Structure 1
């Protein structure tokens, strides 16, 4: 009888303990649901500091393979190698100086010869080094530039500097614009102790057919991990001679990596910009990936109308500084009361249609540009849709006007309606009702960079009641079972 009573008492205590644990778990879950999103967002406000701010005196000199694997990749782990020319540097350095951060970014501009001593090297530019002589190498490409041999060897010469704490060698041209925080975000996804070759293709099919679909295009930039660079430098000079008829430095690099057996890992945020004309359609339908780089910006119209290209990039930097990962990210939503479709390219542009356009169509780039080599309307390596000549079939377009932080975890970006003096406007009443709105305000929370380590999903948005001149849009994470499906 006593044994039965003891068993009963133990069971009672077990039940009470279980209920207590359950209650504590429920309370914890409640607090988590209330505060976790905010704490994650606050932590991602510190992301730029984590990836950019470092103390060079604390470099881990065990160097590059396994000794520093515990530390999250940051900007101190990247060594940039920029292909430049001493005669044209002053005309092109402004692109580099948009992203180069003295005392923070590491790397060199590699020149063909020492720059004139009469012109002091700018403090705002990366430091320079002079490339080794390449006259001993074979070169049989007609109507090409022998400088491609020198530029192909930048990764080798950078490696042979023997600098400490290098995990990634990132190559680019003197007119490549990097978005450094996002570059770090992308490279941090990968194990730098493995052999990785990361970059992107050309946008024009004719370029990929002529050169390679398996190649990272050098102007868009590419990254090579330290272990792969160690293998590459061993065979690179031999590859340069074996592929003497190749056009570019990036082709030679890819050929060597093919011999090693390493394929290209494609990241959609590296942009070669192998297009002509207006890049608007390309940027307004950016893929679901962090914006990492631009190239060839001297060959396309300015990103923002009425501004030169450098001022346009500085304009884009305003929202980028507030929320790097969200820059150019695409969202789609509808106002079913007014039959409106809204396409958002955050920090850049809004397209507003007085009709219900499917999300699949809105995700396609408007064909405001042509192919790089022949200037044709197609083909491209991305889906495009024609830009109609009928103003009643075009969207009403808004461009970024200003960007600001709201509180600790939110931003407000304002977009102003663009008036294209060269094109007639649609006279239909439904278009007139849209054009009555001069501004679109977009609110959003700072995008947690961890989202890019998950399965990609475009964020959702919703349209709020608008006043007489302003359309109000909010971007947010999508709910379970939520889709943008017009009736």
Structure 2
């Protein structure tokens, strides 16, 4: 009987010979080539099987997170370079503004103060809002997006909204806008001074991982949250490479840090896991203070003003104006010389024995006696701490308002600003009562006779903040004519080589 092909005892013996032939000892040189080819095929087969098994294992491991409600990004997050070269400008920044549908129409007044057609980014809300038809208000032209609903699946301990706001960096990165170097987070009541923001970010290599912002002014806030953290209301900047890593890791971080209160705490913890430190820039202002911000703003640190937050909870910056009107007033000198806004310049009128402190574009203080440069650059404490409304401590030194009205300054606030020829500016200030009480001192009365102060200056050198910073000097110009006692003229200029304040 004929054995079927491949069957029976002889068939099994034939298959065994075929398998063993992989390892036969070659008798001719050509057989070495055959052996090498078969060995390569077997090696590739083993490697392929191993990779399939490993991928299956990793896939099953990732699925274990589903029980925690974690929603992974819909697409893989790559780490591409921006491919962008040349100096930074506003178009390289993508703003990621956190808002809420319930409060957007009121808070949008703050965003519209600084948002321009060249500004890129979005305001992220928790749900859609209805925009009025035939609108012309700029605040209704700011791009509005609704956060991806995946944020609702995460646990939280005290603030559900903080989860959504933290995840806005994920939402924003998924838009994949071209030529973005920096992602800047902020709240809908944060006011950015974008020219200065661009100047600050120009110091850093956007192809490296950077996490840049400001701390809280109240130590009780830093102790409760963190010192080495950028507070979100003041805004912070994340370079594109870090944003890519952060977007990929965000969902896992939200799950691990569900017990934190704020969105900025969650982001800081996730950035810490990536190993990137916090870089502080003193121009980002959370303004975790209560009451009158005058003393702090009138002694602004020697750094470009980048942002202001919490103004809705503070006394207006300017007397007899509401917060929005105050900011509109500040924006006028800012538009003329953005790098100089709020920069403090101090000088002494030796003839009258006066000390003069100028916060350019904002206010002027005149004292009837000499104060040192250190005292003048130390903020008057016209405010309290954010959480407990106490007298401190703060992350900077303060000096108290003296109980004697005669030892307090006569205060002037900016009324207007304009360009003058030869790339200069002129700002003028008028006296406004800060309710410091009545002083019968004759020298004090001499100051209060001055109803208007004119300040002239050259526009700030664009490279000013790229050099070692130094405060400029000022000098009082002698008046003439009938207005001599009622007007004072001050010129801001570079300090001379050996000049001291």
TM-score category of the 2 structures, normalised to the smaller one: 0.7 to 0.9
- Residue equivalent to 1:65: 81
How much does 1:197 deviate?
A: 0.6
Partner Cα separation in structure 1 for residue 82 and residue 152 of structure 2: 38
How much does 1:135 deviate?
A: 2.2
Tell me which of 413, 420, 429 is aligned to 2:442. 429
Q: Secondary structure at the match of 2:416?
A: strand
1:139-170 per-residue CA deviation (whole Å, 9 max, x = no partner) reads: 1x2xx320101100111111111110000000
Structure 1 segment 472-483 matched on structure 2, within 5 A: 472-483=489-500
- Residue equivalent to 2:470: 457
Contact 1:64-1:193 at 8 Å conserved across structures? no
- Residue equivalent to 2:350: 336
How much does 1:402 deviate?
A: 1.0
How much does 1:419 deviate?
A: 2.5
Distance verdict in 2 for CA 1:122–1:154, change over 3 Å? farther
Partner Cα separation in structure 2 for residue 345 and residue 305 of structure 1: 16
Contact 1:64-1:167 at 8 Å conserved across structures? no
2:284 corresponds to 1:270: yes
RMSD: 1.5
Q: TM-score, normalised by structure 1?
A: 0.83
- Residue equivalent to 1:74: 89
Distance verdict in 2 for CA 1:186–1:438, change over 3 Å? same
Partner Cα separation in structure 2 for residue 172 and residue 64 of structure 1: 25
- Residue equivalent to 1:297: 311
Distance verdict in 2 for CA 1:399–1:152, change over 3 Å? same
Partner Cα separation in structure 2 for residue 458 and residue 129 of structure 1: 43
How much does 1:423 deviate?
A: 4.1
- Residue equivalent to 1:183: 197
2:184 corresponds to 1:132: no
Structure 1 segment 184-333 matched on structure 2, within 5 A: 184-333=198-347
Rg bigger for which structure? 2
Distance verdict in 2 for CA 1:345–1:118, change over 3 Å? closer
- Residue equivalent to 2:103: 88
1:24-59 per-residue CA deviation (whole Å, 9 max, x = no partner) reads: xxxxxxxxxxxxxxxxxxxxxxxxxxxxxxxxxxxx
Distance verdict in 2 for CA 1:409–1:175, change over 3 Å? same
Structure 1 segment 374-385 matched on structure 2, within 5 A: 374-385=388-399
How much does 1:425 deviate?
A: 2.3
Q: Secondary structure at the match of 2:259?
A: coil
Q: Which runs of 5+ in 2 are unaligned?
A: 1-78
Q: How many residues align?
A: 416
Contact 1:276-1:371 at 8 Å conserved across structures? yes
Distance verdict in 2 for CA 1:470–1:123, change over 3 Å? closer
Q: Which runs of 5+ in 1 are unaligned?
A: 1-62
Partner Cα separation in structure 1 for residue 471 and residue 431 of structure 2: 24
Q: TM-score, normalised by structure 2?
A: 0.81
Contact 1:64-1:165 at 8 Å conserved across structures? no
